[in-house]
């Protein structure tokens, strides 16, 4: 079966850590969407590592890692990532496979991303500027290059054609750019990536399934950044929900098993866009400081706020979540009282626990309930029975509201800092 682990909020829920923890139970870990806009942090044996495009099963020797066709891949960032892993004994020839159908991020895609953002003025999405939107646009417009094109004889011809088109587009914007050096680095990275296993990964995945192996699909971003269901237009350009797995890996819907939905015990968002429970005050700053809430890809401070149940109920529904994973419970140690948003109050005064069509132009006011904080440090707590009563009550409250069991509670960045329930 293919199990899925994906973020239920606006990204950075801690997916990298939990994929790394679960990976020993799987023969295959696969990324199905997104690209180097992701930053997945893993901590173990005193090391901290941030992965952008390489799946988070890469530190497990027995695990095959696949970058699926639904991903957009930047060869330049790929090369840097591989070089950054040189201290670990990783056998990439054995453990890493990349779909030939993966869309390639070109240097001009990054420029277009920046030009479009600049043009948006105060409506900026807050993109990571990795070229994600323009690359997916070209894929859908049937103009883009795929990884398989890089090894074809006519690659240079195809590249020049799309580059010329991008340069025409850039001409519409007042945007200054340099391309020559970026191209040199790109072509160097293209030669580098050719040495890796470029495959038709839909076969790799399905053959693994046929052999009875277990596959874990690793989401990037979060469901509230989904192209269809996120707070459009303040979203990313891919299907970040469970539905994206079938198209992004080439697996049939009936092969999907467990869906792990991961969320922080509070909320964060990086970049622009609506965030109903955002705390633009001291409490928000305390969460940022305690949770070290700074982007793993861009270093930007993350916006922080209380847990949002209407949003969580929405993303649990969209993904068919079967098990929840609650992250960063340790961060809320600092509060005597914790707020949880149960409903939104709409401009006409009515209450809803559903996600309205538009929360960009229509302001919703969060309605909160107050729960007791646990105050206690969670360091070293591995069994739920040893957790502070207030944390047990918080978990019980959420399980009742969300109607899905919380299988894990994470209590720190390290691989070991985890309470596994039942």
Q: Which residues are catalytic, by number?
A: 12, 40
13 lies in the site for Mg ion, by CB under 5 A:
no
**Integer Cα distance of 238 and 117 in angstroms:** 18
Nearer to ligand GDP, 98 or 327 (CB): 327
Q: Which of ligand IMO, ligand GDP, Mg ion, none sits in contact with 43, Cβ below 5 to 8 A by type? A: ligand GDP
64-67 and 96-99 beta bridge pairing: parallel
Instruction: Check binding of 250 to ligand IMO (CB under 6 A).
Output: no
Alpha helices by DSSP H, 151-240 = 155-170, 180-193, 201-210
* Given 190, 296, 304, 338, the residue binding Mg ion (CB under 5 A): 296
How many CA atoms within 13 Å lie on the side-chain side of 67? 30
Residue 128 contacts which entry, Mg ion, ligand IMO, ligand GDP, none (Cβ below 5-8 A, type-dependent): ligand IMO
Q: Does 311 sit near Mg ion (CB under 5 A)?
A: no
The residue within the footprint of ligand IMO, chosen from 2, 132, 227, 409 (CB under 6 A), is 132
Return the residue of 12, 74, 218, 226 that touches ligand IMO, per CB under 6 A.
12
Task: For residue 137, give every residue at least 6 positions away whose Cβ sits within 8 Å of its Cβ, in sequence order, or none.
Answer: 237
Binding footprint of ligand IMO, residue count (CB under 6 A): 23
Q: Using the rule CB under 6 A, give the single segment among 120-128, 253-261, 340-348, 389-397 that binds ligand IMO.
A: 120-128
**Partner interacting with residue 225 (select from Mg ion, ligand GDP, ligand IMO, none; CB below 5-8 Å by kind):** ligand IMO
Q: Which of residues 13-42 bind ligand IMO (CB under 6 A)?
A: 37-40
DSSP letter (8 states) at residue 337: E
37 binds, among ligand GDP, Mg ion, ligand IMO, none (CB under 5 to 8 A by kind): ligand IMO
Strands 215-218 and 307-308: unpaired
What does 58 interact with, of Mg ion, ligand GDP, ligand IMO, none (CB < 5 to 8 A by kind)? none
In DSSP terms, 324 is beta-bridged to 261, 406
Q: Is 20 or 335 the residue whose CB approaches ligand IMO more closely?
A: 20
Q: Looking at 2, 3, 11, 359, which residue binds ligand IMO (CB under 6 A)?
A: 11
Q: What are the residues binding ligand GDP (CB under 6 A)? A: 7, 11-17, 39-41, 43, 291, 296, 327-328, 330-331, 410-413
Quick one: 130 or 146, whose CB is closer to ligand IMO? Answer: 130
| Sign of the alpha-carbon torsion through 311, 277, 381, 24 | positive
- 8 and 319 Cβ atoms separated by less than 8 Å: yes
Looking at the Cβ atoms of 108 and 268, the one nearer to Mg ion is 268
Total residues interacting with Mg ion, rule: CB under 5 A: 3
As measured in angstroms, the least distance from the Cβ of 58 to Mg ion is 16
Inter-CA distances, 19 with 39, 48, 68, 141, 390, Å: 13, 15, 16, 33, 28
**Roughly what angle, to the nearest 10 degrees, separates helices 107-119 and 132-140?**
110
| Beta carbon of residue 370, minimum distance to ligand IMO (angstroms, whole number) | 28
Q: Per CB under 5 A, which of residues 36..55 are in contact with Mg ion? A: 39
Q: Is position 20 an interface residue for Mg ion (rule: CB under 5 A)?
A: no
Contact set for ligand IMO, span 338-367 (CB under 6 A):
none
What angle, rounded to 10 degrees, do the helices at 180-193 and 75-84 form?
A: 60
CA-to-CA separations, 307 to 10, 220, 260, 304, in angstroms, rounded? 12, 20, 18, 10
Cα–Cα distances in angstroms (integers) from residue 96 to residues 51, 90, 241, 408, in the given order: 14, 9, 24, 28
Rounded to the nearest angstrom, the gap between the alpha carbon of residue 181 and the centroid of all alpha carbons in its chain is 30
Cis before residue 207, ω within 30 degrees of 0?
Answer: no
Q: What is the CA radius of gyration of the chain?
A: 21
- The correct pick among 53, 65, 69, 127 for binding ligand IMO (CB under 6 A) is 127
Nearer to ligand IMO, 136 or 344 (CB): 136
70-93 residues labelled b (16+ CB within 10 A) or e (exposed): bbbbbbbbbbbbbeebeeeebeee
Q: How many residues does the chain have?
A: 422
In the complex, the residues that contact Mg ion under the rule CB under 5 A are 12, 39, 296
In the complex, the residues that contact ligand IMO under the rule CB under 6 A are 7, 10-12, 37-40, 125-128, 130, 132-133, 220-222, 225, 236, 270-271, 296
């Amino acid at each position: 079966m293919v199990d899925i682990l994906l973020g239920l909020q606006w990204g950075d829920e801690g997916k990298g850590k939990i994929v790394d923890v679960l990976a020993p139970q799987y023969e295959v870990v696969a990324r199905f969407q997104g690209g180097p806009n992701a930053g997945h942090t893993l901590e173990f044996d005193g090391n901290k590592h941030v992965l952008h495009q390489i799946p988070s099963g890469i530190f497990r020797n027995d695990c095959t890692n696949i970058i699926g066709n639904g991903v957009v891949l930047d060869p330049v960032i790929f090369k840097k990532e591989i070089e950054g892993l040189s201290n670990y004994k990783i056998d990439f020839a054995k453990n890493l496979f990349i779909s030939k159908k993966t869309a390639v991020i070109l240097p001009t895609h990054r420029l277009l991303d920046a030009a479009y953002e600049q043009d948006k003025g105060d409506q900026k999405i807050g993109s990571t500027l990795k070229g994600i939107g323009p690359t997916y646009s070209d894929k859908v417009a049937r103009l883009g290059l795929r990884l398989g094109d890089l090894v074809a004889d006519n690659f240079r011809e195809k590249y020049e054609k799309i580059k010329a088109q991008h340069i025409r587009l850039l001409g519409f914007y007042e945007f200054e750019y340099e391309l020559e050096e970026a191209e040199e680095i790109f072509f160097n990275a293209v030669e580098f990536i050719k040495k890796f296993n470029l495959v038709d990964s839909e076969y790799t995945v399905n053959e693994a399934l046929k052999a009875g192996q277990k596959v874990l699909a690793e989401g990037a971003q979060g469901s509230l950044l989904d192209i269809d269901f996120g707070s459009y237009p303040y979203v990313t350009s891919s299907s970040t929900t469970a539905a994206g797995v079938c198209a992004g890996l080439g697996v049939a819907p009936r092969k999907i098993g467990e869906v792990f939905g991961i969320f922080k015990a509070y909320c964060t968002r990086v970049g622009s866009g609506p965030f109903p429970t955002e705390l633009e005050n001291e409490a928000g700053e305390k969460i940022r400081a305690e949770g070290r809430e700074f982007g793993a890809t861009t270093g930007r401070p993350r916006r922080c706020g209380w847990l949002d149940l209407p949003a969580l109920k929405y993303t649990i529904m969209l993904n068919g979540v079967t098990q929840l994973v609650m992250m960063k419970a340790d961060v809320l140690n600092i509060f005597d009282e914790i707020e949880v948003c149960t409903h939104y109050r709409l401009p006409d005064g009515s209450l809803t626990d559903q996600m309205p069509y538009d929360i960009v132009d229509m302001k919703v006011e969060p309605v909160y309930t107050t729960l007791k904080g646990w105050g206690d440090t969670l360091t070293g707590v591995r069994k739920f029975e040893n957790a502070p009563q207030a944390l047990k009550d918080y978990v019980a409250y959420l399980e009742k509201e969300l109607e899905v069991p919380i299988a894990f509670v994470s209590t720190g960045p390290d691989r070991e800092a985890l309470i596994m329930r039942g």
